[in-house]
């Protein structure tokens, strides 16, 4: 619901705080090193995302504790060197649960973004490239979908589809299709008027080649930026739905489910909700920061 809004503003914020670097010519490598050195936050964000991705594929890298079987004698232990995030009501290591849950939550996030990207991109592409009544019909449909708040649309889809990580992911993804379609269409419209497209057409290039070789590669950039930005939105959406209990059934350590489980022990075990929530917030912040950097780069290149 807020991606497009965020996009423009994020670019603005990045331009305001980070960009006024001196515009002297330097060699590429030192330029990149300098670029990163001036942005420790961006480096930290990249490392955070990297850690989450590694956890999604090989959670054993971070912890040897079992995410599902707990040691009842060790229940409700506060965070310590042995249990970074403490232990829950069954004596399970919360850090291990978050590390192993990364796979489920990242899978859901990826599916959600992919659904939004592919379907939204296709709708926008067709709408912008074909134009005329097709454009009118598709864009009115997009307007309608935007009139329904994203979370309600996702909840309606969950009602119809049922529970589970994949279904929740699809529900979250479909809710973002409209904003992807809008951005893609706007970009296609911009590129379609370019002189090189006209030249290609004049040379008798077939329409599918015009589309595939000229329009698509030049229009896809902002949509990719939106996709990185949508990662954050999707993580939040998926965790909200799994917090509400529509994700995998309980023993599975999905991020939102872990927090929902800690809710009952808020008074005596703060770490069950506080630390997993920080993990989610840190991941979302990182992906948003990266999206902002990409956005700024693209804005400068144009």
Partner 1 sequence: MRRYLIRRILQAAAVLWAAYTVSFLVLDLLPGDPVSAMAGAAQDQASFDPAQFARLKHEYGFDKPIPVQYADYLGRAVRGDFGDSVATGRPVTTVLTEALPPTLQLTAAALLLAVLAGGGLAVLATWTSARWLRQALLSLPPLGVSVPTFWVGLMLVELLSFRVHLFPAFGDDGPRGLVLPALTMAVMPGALIAQVLAKSLLGTLEEPYVQTARAKGAGRTRVHLRHALRNAALPALTILGVLTGMVLANSVVIETVFSRNGLGRVTAGAVGVQDIPVVQGVVMFAAVAVVTVNLAVDLLYPLLDPRIVMAGRTA
Nearer to partner 1, 118 or 281 (CB): 281
Q: CA-to-CA distance for 214 and 60, rounded, in angstroms?
A: 45
Bridge-partner residues for 87, per DSSP? 93
Sign of CA dihedral 291, 294, 298, 299: positive
Asked if 165 interacts with partner 1 (CB under 8 A), we say no
Sign of CA dihedral 280, 283, 289, 291: negative
Q: Which stretch binds partner 1 (CB under 8 A): 10-18, 68-76, 79-87, 192-200?
A: 10-18
Contact pick of 18, 46, 240, 299 for partner 1 (by CB under 8 A)? 240
Nearer to partner 1, 21 or 32 (CB): 21
Asked if 161 interacts with partner 1 (CB under 8 A), we say yes
Helix axes 165-192, 216-243, angle to 10 degrees: 150
Q: Which stretch binds partner 1 (CB under 8 A): 75-83, 92-100, 203-211, 264-272?
A: 264-272
The residues near 101 (Cβ < 8 Å, ≥ 6 apart) are 67, 252, 253, 254, 255, 257, 258
CB of 69 to partner 1, least distance (A): 26
Q: Which stretch binds partner 1 (CB under 8 A): 86-94, 111-119, 146-154, 197-205?
A: 146-154
DSSP symbols for 45-104: HHHHHHHHHHHHH-GGGT--S-SS---GGGTTPPS-SSSTT-B-TT--BHHHHHHHHHHH
The residues near 149 (Cβ < 8 Å, ≥ 6 apart) are 1
Give the x/- contact pattern for partner 1 in 272-291, rule: CB under 8 A. Answer: -xx--x--xx--xx--x---
Asked if 95 interacts with partner 1 (CB under 8 A), we say no
Residues 216-235 touching partner 1, rule: CB under 8 A, are 232
Contact pick of 31, 217, 245, 251 for partner 1 (by CB under 8 A)? 245
First to last CA, the chain: 26
Asked if 143 interacts with partner 1 (CB under 8 A), we say yes
Query: What residue ranges bind partner 1 (CB under 8 A)?
Result: 1-2, 5-6, 8-10, 12-13, 16-17, 140-141, 143-145, 147-153, 155-162, 232, 236, 239-240, 243-246, 256, 259, 262-263, 266-267, 270, 273-274, 277, 280-281, 284-285, 288
């Amino acid at each position: 619901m807020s991606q497009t809004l965020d996009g423009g503003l994020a670019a603005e914020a990045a331009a305001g705080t980070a960009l006024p670097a001196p515009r002297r010519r330097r060699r590429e490598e030192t330029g990149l090193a300098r670029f990163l050195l001036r942005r420790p936050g961006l480096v930290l964000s990249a490392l955070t995302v990297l850690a989450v991705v590694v956890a999604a594929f090989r959670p054993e890298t971070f912890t040897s504790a079992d995410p599902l079987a707990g040691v009842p004698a060790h229940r409700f232990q506060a965070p310590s060197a042995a249990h970074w995030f403490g232990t829950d009501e069954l004596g399970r290591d919360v850090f291990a649960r978050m590390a192993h849950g990364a796979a489920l939550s990242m899978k859901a996030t990826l599916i959600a973004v992919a659904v939004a990207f592919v379907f939204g991109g296709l709708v926008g592409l067709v709408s912008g490239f074909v134009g005329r009544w097709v454009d009118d019909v598709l864009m009115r449909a997009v307007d309608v979908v935007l009139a329904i708040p994203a979370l309600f649309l996702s909840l309606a889809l969950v009602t119809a589809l049922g529970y589970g990580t994949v279904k929740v992911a699809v529900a979250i993804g479909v809710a973002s299709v409209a904003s992807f379609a809008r951005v893609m269409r706007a970009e296609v419209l911009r590129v379609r008027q370019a002189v090189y497209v006209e030249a290609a057409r004049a040379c008798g290039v077939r329409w599918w080649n015009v589309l595939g070789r000229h329009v698509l590669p030049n229009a896809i950039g902002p949509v990719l930026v939106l996709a990185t930005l949508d990662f954050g939105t999707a993580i939040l959406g998926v965790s909200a739905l799994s917090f509400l209990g529509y994700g995998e059934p309980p023993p599975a350590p999905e991020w939102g489910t872990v927090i929902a489980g800690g809710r009952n022990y808020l008074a005596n075990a703060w770490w069950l909700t506080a630390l997993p929530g920080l993990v989610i917030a840190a991941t979302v912040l990182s992906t948003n920061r990266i999206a902002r950097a990409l956005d700024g780069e693209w804005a400068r290149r144009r």
